[in-house]
Amino acid sequence: MRKIELTTVKEPVRDHLSGPIFLSDETIEERKQKVLANMAKENLDKLVVYGDVEHGSNFEYLVGYFTRFEEGLLIIDKSGEMTLVLGNENLNKSSKSRVEISKTVHVSLFSLPNQPNRKDLTLVDLLKEAGLAEGQKVGIVGWKNFTSSLEDNKHTFDVPYYIVKSILEIVKDENLVTNECSLFIGENGARCTNNANEIAHYEYAASLASDCMLDAMDALEEGVSELVLGDKLVRYGQHTSIVTIASSGPRFIKANMFPRNNTVKLGDPISLTNGYRGGSSSRSGVAIYEENQLAEDQKDYLDRVAKPYFNAYVAWLENIKCGMKGKEMFDLIETELPRAKYGWSLCPGHLIGEEEWMSSPIYEGSEEKLQSGMMLQIDIIPSVKGYNGVSAESTVLLADDKLKSDIKEQYPDLYDRMIKRREYLIHELGIDLSDDIMPMCSSVAYLRPFLLAHDKAFKVVK
């Protein structure tokens, strides 16, 4: 294990971005062509992309917005023709779509309960009007790419039953209707890699989450309430992608998941999490100033949990590279932080987009290759019985020389920020950072296990 010390470390600078960057028309067209190419590989006639406020990311990928209160469908023909199927309160948003829409079909069943309903056509008839027909090969895209070894993943659907039932009734052959979410978020899915414009767009969210996290960490002191900390973690009215956590002491009291009036007490376990559409941050540790304040049964917390975690985190950052197979990273973390001893169970790293967890190429036995343009969360979660947790989840970009060059040419300020973040990781935290890592925010790898000691963090000592 690397020599890791908890010592005085300069805090990362806030990113202080001026505002979000919009996706260009060229990027939207590139996205459309990626989806159409994936459709052609599967010989699909139609792709029915579902969206609602919780599961709208694949829909939003082309349309540009999600349907807020209602459900919605984007129906893509193999020719590239697009049809929107919208409810009462989103019907007037059809013209705002980022991709050109040839037809919009009004389905009031997608609206909130007890709103006015159409009385002229059934859902089956309306979906026929939207272009679905008997004998077509139709892919359905919800939000989940099923990967079970026990289920029929291609015929498992996460879209409301009444919609799937109507599609099956039209097509008349259940074998022609398949789950095709993998075209978006599976191996080589359209959404798995990003161009320079997309990176600039998402960096706003990743760095905003980071800035908010640093503010919350700096506000953390004895007597401060979870409500105050929670207020530090949200900003500018931006739509969050994850439940905001600001917790001190025992969690889930009376099943509550949100910040309370509870105040920070010496020795409390602390958990802080926030996220926006393109990046998230999470920190956990203990509300103490120094090691001798650890509980008697956790006196070895640093050596038993926190330092091994940080060591694995550093190994992740030092070894990841474009072209690496997902199983190689999984096996590396298993070697550095064995599951049997440290209790982690999820993927040690996953892709992020509009949603906090999009999918992951990093899993046991994964032959998927890590690619330039992937945005990743460093999400290793140790769980050692009897000990407080520890985490420093943040967002990074995997980038080859071509993507770095594109970012430098198109967004020089972004490129400069990324280079300064790299320098902080290398020179301040002592990490031999992989050449393929471009940090999406300034707080990557910045970990204070003792959260009342604001000037102390982990670093690698050579």
Helix axes 401-410, 412-423, angle to 10 degrees: 120
Tell me the residue range of the domain where 47 lies. 43-179
Per-residue model confidence as pLDDT tens digits over 245-280? 999 999 999 999 999 999 999 999 999 999 999 999
> Which CATH number goes with the domain that contains 343?
3.90.230.10
The answer to the question of residue 32 being in a domain is: no
Q: Give the pLDDT confidence score for residue 1 in this predicted structure.
A: 87
Q: Give the pLDDT confidence score for residue 454 in this predicted structure.
A: 98
Is the domain of 77 the same as that of 224? no
Is the domain of 358 the same as that of 315? yes
pLDDT cut 90: percent of the chain above it: 98
Q: Give the pLDDT confidence score for residue 441 in this predicted structure.
A: 97
Is the domain of 85 the same as that of 133? yes
Is the domain of 170 the same as that of 199? no
Is the domain of 16 the same as that of 147? no
Q: Please check the confidence at residue 18 and state whether its pLDDT lies above 90.
A: no
Which domain-ending residue is among 179, 209, 242?
Answer: 179
DSSP string, 62-126: HHSS--TTS-EEEEEETTS-EEEEE-TTTGGGGGG-SS--SEEEE-GGGS-TTS---SS--HHHH
Is the domain of 350 the same as that of 400? yes
Is the domain of 263 the same as that of 394? yes
Per-residue model confidence as pLDDT tens digits over 392-419? 999 999 999 999 999 999 999 999 999 9
Is the domain of 125 the same as that of 158? yes
**Is the torsion defined by CA of 236, 237, 242, 243 positive or negative?**
positive
Q: Please check the confidence at residue 70 and state whether its pLDDT lies above 90.
A: yes
The answer to the question of residue 184 being in a domain is: no
Is the domain of 199 the same as that of 175? no
| 22 CA to centre of own chain | 19
pTM for the whole thing? 0.96
Is the domain of 408 the same as that of 443? yes
Is the domain of 276 the same as that of 355? yes
Q: Give the pLDDT confidence score for residue 16 in this predicted structure.
A: 78
Which domain-ending residue is among 179, 205, 237?
Answer: 179
Element (H, E) at 42: none
Count of other CB atoms within 10 angstroms of residue 339: 14
The answer to the question of residue 31 being in a domain is: no
The answer to the question of residue 30 being in a domain is: no
Count of other CB atoms within 10 angstroms of residue 249: 17
Per-residue model confidence as pLDDT tens digits over 104-160? 999 999 999 999 999 999 999 999 999 999 999 999 999 999 999 999 999 999 999
Measured CA to CA, the distance from residue 353 to residue 397 in angstroms comes to 12
> Which CATH number goes with the domain that contains 139?
3.40.350.10
Q: Please check the confidence at residue 17 and state whether its pLDDT lies above 90.
A: no
Q: Please check the confidence at residue 236 and state whether its pLDDT lies above 90.
A: yes
The answer to the question of residue 108 being in a domain is: yes
Q: How many domains does the chain have?
A: 2
Helix axes 412-423, 196-219, angle to 10 degrees: 50
Contact criterion met (CB below 8 Å) for 374 and 361: yes
Residue 33: name the closest of 99, 87, 89 by CA: 99
Is the domain of 269 the same as that of 367? yes
The answer to the question of residue 112 being in a domain is: yes
Per-residue model confidence as pLDDT tens digits over 294-309? 999 999 999 999 999 9
Which domain-ending residue is among 114, 148, 179?
Answer: 179
- Residue 40 — very low, low, confident or very high, per pLDDT cuts 50/70/90? very high
